[in-house]
Amino acid sequence: MNRIGIDLGGTKIEGILTDEKYATITRKRVPTNQEEGYSSILELIKSMVLELTQESDDKFSIGVCTPGALSLDSGLIKNSNTQCLIGKDLQNDLKNILHCDISIENDANCFALAESKLGSGKNSNLVFGVIMGTGVGGGITINGKIHRGRTNIAGEWGHHCLHTGGNSCYCGNKGCVETYISGPALEKNWSNLSGLNQSLPEIIQNSDNPNFDNWKKIFLDNFGLALANVIDILDPDMIILGGGLSNIDFLYDEGKDAVYEKVFSDTVDTPILKNTLGDSAGVFGACML
């Protein structure tokens, strides 16, 4: 059976049709147009599925990858930064317009799944996948399957508490990982230290600035503590970094050292690797659901 994966992002919707072995048959991409609302997103997905399948009579499955999660109680989307999806019954609404079953999964879980099957985590048993970008998330796969946990929150690393009573988070708690090592959090910290409003790539280029070393030290301390906690609890075979921040080279040497020095073991050697699928992890993860 062929597979369709849809990556429903805040700015673009990407769709892919693959064969059983995830070889790409065709691929499409359109802007999300959030301002036109939920029904327009449903229509975009419907026309994308029709386009992807127009030259094929084969049967197919459909998986959708999106930020946020399905509430275990209601089945409705929650915690999504594509805000017009919040509180919507995306799964059933898509089922009704496409007349087939739909699987929906959180983007960090899709990332971990795709990387563990086709990317840097190929042939590994326990993979912890991390997305560090505008938000911070994590996903766990065991033997190539997503580990969701009892209430679907396994791997929600972005909202574990790094500093008691720390920065306020939109989730209502304080001190969440996301408020320290997401792109916006790091840019804010740079602005506080240097007085400059710069994007993360600009900050990385600005390493001669007298505030840079201090900014980097705080970043690495938080990165190290956040991932050392994961290793202490999960002891994964590897950690794979995704999202915009995965392009920061020092995370793979100095960042790794900052993690290792905080792990409760004298033999820590957990690989911390860059993803290999890049932006495509979402669509591939979705078609594997």
Binding mask 55-84 toward Zn ion (x if CB under 5 A, else -) reads ------------------------------
The correct pick among 64, 146, 176, 277 for binding Zn ion (CB under 5 A) is: 176
SS3 122: coil
User: What are phi and psi for residue 102, nearest 5 degrees?
Assistant: -125, 135
Specify the residue, 112 or 169, whose C-beta has the smaller distance to Zn ion.
Answer: 169
* Residue 35 DSSP symbol: G
Q: Does residue 177 bind Zn ion (CB under 5 A)?
A: no
- Nearest distance in Å: CB 160, Zn ion: 9
Specify the residue, 160 or 274, whose C-beta has the smaller distance to Zn ion.
Answer: 160
- Nearest distance in Å: CB 84, Zn ion: 21
The sign of the dihedral angle between the CA atoms of 5, 16, 56, 33 is positive
Select the span of 49-57, 146-154, 164-172, 258-266 touching Zn ion (CB under 5 A): 164-172
Binding mask 4-43 toward Zn ion (x if CB under 5 A, else -) reads ----------------------------------------
Q: Does residue 159 bind Zn ion (CB under 5 A)?
A: yes
The correct pick among 6, 69, 169, 259 for binding Zn ion (CB under 5 A) is: 169
Q: What is the dihedral of CA 106, 112, 113, 117, to 10 degrees?
A: 160
Q: Does residue 180 bind Zn ion (CB under 5 A)?
A: no
Nearest C-alpha neighbor of 193 from the set 181, 175, 182, 209? 209
CA distances in angstroms from 214 to 129, 194, 200, listed in the order given: 27, 10, 15
> Distance between CA atoms of 146 and 139, rounded to whole angstroms?
7
Contact between 205 and 78 (Cβ < 8 Å): no
Specify the residue, 64 or 169, whose C-beta has the smaller distance to Zn ion.
Answer: 169
# chain residues binding Zn ion, by CB under 5 A: 5
Contact between 65 and 8 (Cβ < 8 Å): yes
The correct pick among 50, 100, 171, 196 for binding Zn ion (CB under 5 A) is: 171
Interface residue list for Zn ion (CB under 5 A): 159, 169, 171, 173, 176
